[in-house]
Structure formats: C-alpha cells, structure tokens
Amino acid sequence: MIRIAFFDTKPYDRQAFEAQLAENPFAKGIKASFFEPRLDRTTASMAKGHDAVCIFVNDVADKDTIDVLVALGVKLIALRCAGYNNVDFKYAHGRIALCRVPAYSPYAVAEHAMAMLLCLNRNLHHAYVRVREFNFTLTGLTGFDLHGKTAGIVGMGKIGRAFASICQGFGMDVVAYDAYPSPMDGVKFLSLGEVLSKADVLSLHCPLTKDTHHMINKKTISSMKKGAVLINTSRGGLVDSIALLGALKTGRLGGAALDVYEEETGLFYEDQSYRIVQDDIIARLISLPNVLVTSHQAFLTKEALSNIAGTTIDNIASYFDNGELKNGVAG
C-alpha cells in the first residue's frame, strides 16, 4: 500500500484525484489523504505515515520542510503542477525524490490569457457590473482592435505556442523571445529587448528562475510601447509588482491582466472577502480600472485537472513500483 498526503487540496482537486484513484489502473494499491492546509515546515508533520506528499504551487518545500519530510520517511514529493520554484530542489537532491507535471493542458492557460486580454481590452468586467445595475451607457468602455496589433510572447513552450496560434487567429502579428527558440510558422523570433519594444500586448509564458525573476521591472517597462498591455499567467515573480503599479498609475502601461502575483501565497485560493487585505500592492492593483486579476485559475479546466491527476498518479506509481522517476526534477 502506497500512502500519499495531498496538501492544499480544494474540492476540484479531490474530485479529479478521486476519479483517477477509482479508474486509473496505475492507482491500485494507492491510498490518499487529503489535507486543506498548505505544506510548509509547520504542517509537514501531517505527512507522518505517508510515503509521498503531493503539493501545488503555493505549498513550500524549503530546507526545513524537506528535513521534516525526510525524518518522517517520506520518499517522494510529487508536484501537481509544472513549476517548481517553491521547492528547494538543490537541497532535495539525494535526500528526497521530486517529480512534476510538465504539461497538462497548454490550451487551458493560453485560452485564459486570451480571455483576460479580451475582457480587459473591451472592458467586459466593467460592462457586466453596469448592466447588472441597469446602466446601459457606453462611456469609458472603448477598447482597440486586436487585428493588426503585435503580440509579444516571452517563452515559447507549449503554452506560449498555443497562445501564439490564438493570436494569429485574431489577425495579430506575433513576435517572440525564447532562450532556446524553435521555429513556428508566422512567428518572428527576436531578442527580448526587441519584443518588448514592438509588442502592443506582451504575454509571459516562461518559468520563474533566478534569471527571469523580475524580468519585467522599471527598466524593461520603460523600453515597452507606451500604452502596451501586460498579461501574466505564468508566475508572479516574473514581474516587479511595485514597478508595474507605478507604470499603470502614470499611464506608461495601458493595462495589466494578472492571473498570478508574486506575493500570492496565503492570499490566492482563499476567501479573503471578510478580511482587510494587508498587502497594499495587490489591493491597489485590483482597485485600478485598467487591471484585471484572477486568482491563479488559468489551469482550471476539466481536461487539465484530469490530466494533472492522471500524470501525478502515474509518476507516483512508477516510482514506487519500479523505481522509475518519471518527470523528475534534477537537483
């Protein structure tokens, strides 16, 4: 019997994983415990008696947490997401195995990025509220045609390429930057500086690393087109939130659509409506009329949840059945 402790689980997580545990032939002999708290050094003790832990983007597997897990006999950390910037993977090397879900549905994230752009550009979030109050005026709701505009994409993995295809469908010109570019029809690969200077819409689809942390900052924003729109559905730490706020307030940027935020841990995925949010930056961003924020939901489609659960179960079963570390994270 393989026992897995799932942390930071929500109803949609549990539903998807329980379906996999019931139907996936690789799930035989796996028993799951679902915990609502996020994993960190203070909650890691909940994994006692389990062989593996399964975590998400806002769980914290730092040095102290890993030490607790190892002491409890936990042998595997299975991330049910693609990114692993919340894990001290170098410290984990040789102590505990790590695996992830490198791809679940690039279309889910890419489509959400375009949905946010359309909503922000055409002011649908404002129009919805007005009409609910029987205010049918159009003043202040003017957007711009996407057709003929330039979409700049940073990161041309599966999600970036899916977003590029969507943009092409709208008749947009697409320029892109990727550290390891792979040609795509209709996409012109340029330097990062050139992409920033040409983009009417800039969309981020790259991982968070020490090299990409705050890649969108005061200096890089100053090189962007005045009035450009920024979309971030990747990781919050790619953007210097203070610099972004300043650029939005002055009109240097025309708008921002954010599904992620660099200080989202402890904030996103929870009901904060009855509390006074102490983070002044996110509170100010949300208050701006040219900002649209969603709470890291770009991945949230039925297909993506099913794929995440299936790949995670396969990763865990392979490791414990035959020692194969599928989709492993190297130290």
Strand partners, 154: 177, 204
Task: Retrieve residue 271's tokens.
Answer: 């009901």
Identify whether residues 137 and 270 lie together within a single domain: yes
Residue 328 lies in a domain: no
Residue 273 lies in a domain: yes
Identify whether residues 96 and 135 lie together within a single domain: no
Identify whether residues 83 and 112 lie together within a single domain: no
Which residue matches tokens 């028993």?
31
Is residue 235 part of the annotated active site? The answer reads yes
Identify whether residues 112 and 91 lie together within a single domain: no
CA distance 155 to 161: 8
- Residue 217 phi, psi (nearest 5): -135, -175
Identify whether residues 7 and 138 lie together within a single domain: no
CB 113 within 8 A of CB 165: no
CB 241 within 8 A of CB 263: yes
Catalytic residue among 264, 270, 275, 284: 264
DSSP class of residue 17 equals H
Residue 327 lies in a domain: no
pLDDT of residue 331: 62
Length of the chain: 331
Identify whether residues 180 and 123 lie together within a single domain: yes
CB-hemisphere CA count at 13 Å for 316? 37
DSSP class of residue 47 equals G
Task: Retrieve residue 321's tokens.
Answer: 């059945």
Whichever domain contains 56, its CATH number is 3.40.50.720
Task: State pLDDT tens for residues 117-163.
Answer: 999 999 999 999 999 999 999 999 999 999 999 999 999 999 999 99
pLDDT of residue 27: 80
> What is the pLDDT tens value at each position of the chain, 331 positions in all?
899 999 999 999 999 999 999 988 878 889 999 999 999 999 999 999 999 999 999 999 999 999 999 999 999 999 999 888 899 999 999 999 999 999 889 999 999 999 999 999 999 999 999 999 999 999 999 999 999 999 999 999 999 999 999 999 999 999 999 999 999 999 999 999 999 999 999 999 999 999 999 999 999 999 999 999 999 999 999 999 999 999 999 999 999 999 999 999 889 999 999 999 999 999 999 999 999 999 999 999 999 999 999 999 999 999 999 899 999 987 6
* Run of H or E including 204: strand 201-204
Identify whether residues 238 and 250 lie together within a single domain: yes
User: How many structural domains is the chain composed of?
Assistant: 2
Residues 6+ apart with CB under 8 A from 75: 51, 52, 96, 97, 319, 320
Identify whether residues 99 and 110 lie together within a single domain: no
Is residue 264 part of the annotated active site? The answer reads yes
Identify whether residues 57 and 162 lie together within a single domain: no
Residue 159 lies in a domain: yes
Residue 330 lies in a domain: no
Closest CA to 143 of 200, 67, 82: 200
Identify whether residues 146 and 263 lie together within a single domain: yes
Residue 331 lies in a domain: no
CA distance 150 to 171: 9
The whole-model pTM stands at 0.90
Residue 169 lies in a domain: yes
pLDDT of residue 249: 96
Identify whether residues 277 and 314 lie together within a single domain: no
Per the structure, the complete domain to which residue 49 belongs is given by 2-104+301-322
Closest CA to 6 of 30, 42, 24: 30
Catalytic residue among 161, 235, 252, 262: 235
CA distance 288 to 266: 22
pLDDT of residue 111: 98
Identify whether residues 232 and 127 lie together within a single domain: yes
Task: State pLDDT tens for residues 173-213.
Answer: 999 999 999 999 999 999 999 999 999 999 999 999 999 99
